[in-house]
Chains A and B, each alone.
Chain A
Amino acid sequence: MDTMTRLDGATEPREAGRRAGDRPARRFRLRAWATIAAFLLPALVLFCLLVVAPILLALYASLFKWNGFGVLPTDFIGLDNFTRLFEDEIFLGDLWRGLLLIVLSVGVQLPLALGIALLLNQPMRGRAVYRLLFFAPYVVSEVIAAVLFTMVFSPEQGLANRILTAIGLEGLTSTWLADPSTVMYTLFIVMTWKYFGFYMIIFLAGRQAIPSEVTEAAAIDGANTWQIFRHVTLPLLGPTIRIGVFLSVIGTIQLFDLVWVLTGGGPIHTSETLAVTMFQYGFARYQVGYASAISVVMFIISLVFALGYQRWVMRRDIEGAITGMKDHR
């Protein structure tokens, strides 16, 4: 509400027209509405047709038994797909594996990215090169990274085992992606290779937005490096870190390409994610109704997480962003 009144004040001619209601002003208003409609329509049509409609269609199809042929499903079965989900070991495993990857990403990958970002914020020789290098895997597609690491972690010829053998650590050699007990950690190594540079760049941008006066003042007041990090840098990086966690969780929920090419979800479903299970039911087994139910669960998890996170964790940041917006208008 506050936004609306403030913005109405900014567009005086239209506001005056609305008060007076005389004919030229009304025509002016009509013209403004026509402009608004003409500029918004392409985006609205594209968004509704190809983002909103498919999501609604998934909600609808999840209530049907459907092999995916024809335009719309007909065999209504209510919530049977969802009750079936909660007896499906693979699906329940997907949830646990998703949680494991989230815990590893937030607990290992993000702190690593933060540490490297703070390190590369210091003056040191070659830091521009390191920054460029660490971010480079992010622009390589997940498929290419996955094919490359299939070779690196191949049991006989693979580079990983060859290196371990060469440096005398035969005991640590493994079949990596072919072993149910190591596949998730191997997957996480590849995820880290691909994505830690992305979070490093975000944290670096956040760190560089902190004015150097703040840390210098703390140093003059006698704070040591750890105290400056703990009580100055870290709190000021809060919003950036919270966004990083948000992106990491949402990205992990929908992880597909990397797993699909590295393992296809195997061995015996031990690396499947929600998206991989959904894809297999939908495109390989033609159980589109059931696969849609998995999509709906993914959607609900993302939605609940996003809303809850924004409500409870990022609220302060959003308030800050809105008060900050006043400067612009």
Chain B
Amino acid sequence: MSAHARVAPARRRPWPKSVAMHLVVVVIGTFILVPIAYGVLSGFKTNSQLSTNPFGLPAPWVPSNYTDVLAAGEFWRQIGNSTLIALATALLVVGVSAMAAYVFARYAFRGREAVFMFFATGLMFPFAVAILPLFVLLRTLGLLDNPLGVILPQAAFGLPLTIIILRQFFRTVPGEIEEAATLDGCSAFGFFWRILLPMARPAIATVSVLAVVNSWNNFMLPLVVFNDPSWWTLPVGVQQFSGQYSSDTARILAYVVLAMIPALAFYSVAERQLIGGLAAGATKG
């Protein structure tokens, strides 16, 4: 009731309607939450507990599935690989895109719109279309079992969206600031590096978060590039683990739950940038 007291009286709705509204979201929330809760609780059970007691709390709680995964080096190694690749991808794609977006936003030159469209059409090319030739290309360049073999293509495929979002933002920086900087003897690069990038910090944060999430969840490319288990990223590791222990349901669920935590933790920290970036990509693309 106190929540309703704050809104204008005209908006107050009769209670059956608000109950119905809550019912709908609770049903959807259950649909979202139950598989996750099932995973978390099942991770604390033995397999025999799982078959006799699928819904209830574990009795007794068995932490060994989780502790075994955490004690094994491969889980941490995969987190390390995923982190390294995600950070390097974000750094590369944001740096290169920011430079291009700066030119697209602040210079007028013949063919500018054509070059921009050339990049923008990249948005509609499914990654899957290029995977086979990309694999052949990376093999020819000797980049298989090399993190660069994942970082470089991911950055290349991230360019269109990043350039579009950053160009949009760079356009909003008033021209007077650039003129003042130029009059004070600032070079083009100096303006870009010392004035534009710091001013664009929110936009940079947004596209970086998008790049990190996309890289973190990428599966197809690391799957074909990394043959050597010591380079596997988390999604590849989860898939291989579930194949390896296919009969050990509780252990797989423990692995899945632990693998989910970094992404969800990152989401809880960077929620604003992530949602802002997706909304910007969808409405301004």
- Residues on A lying within 8 angstroms of B by beta carbon are 3-4, 7-8, 10-11, 14, 32-33, 35-36, 39-40, 42-44, 46-47, 49-51, 53-55, 57-58, 61, 68, 71, 115-116, 119-120, 122-125, 127, 130, 132-137, 139-144, 147-152, 154, 157, 159, 162-163, 166, 193, 197-198, 201-202, 205-206, 209, 219, 239-240, 243-244, 247, 250, 253-254, 256-257, 260-261, 274-275, 278-279, 282-283, 288, 291-292, 295-296, 298-299, 302-303, 306, 321, 328-329
Contact = CB atoms under 8 A, between A and B. Distances in A.
A119 B22 CA distance: 9
Contacts, number: 281
B91 interface: no
B108 A8 contact: yes
Given A36-B103, A134-B29, A302 B129 contact: yes
Main SS of chain B's interface residues?
Answer: helix
A187 to B, nearest CB: 15
B130 A282 contact: no
Interface of B: 3-4, 6-7, 10-11, 18, 21-22, 24-25, 28-29, 31-36, 38-39, 42, 50-51, 54-55, 96-97, 99-100, 102-103, 107-110, 112-113, 115, 118-119, 122, 124-137, 140, 152-153, 155-157, 159, 163, 171-172, 175, 188-189, 192, 213, 216-217, 219-220, 224, 234-236, 238-239, 242, 249, 252-253, 256, 259-260, 263-264, 266-268, 271, 274-275, 278-279, 282-285
A157 B50 contact: yes
B264 A116 contact: no
A139 B126 contact: no
B235 A201 contact: no
B49 to A, nearest CB: 11
A46 B29 contact: no
10 tightest CB-CB pairs across the interface, nearest first?
A254-B126, A205-B279, A50-B156, A57-B133, A141-B217, A43-B100, A54-B130, A143-B235, A54-B133, A7-B108
Contacts of A197: 32
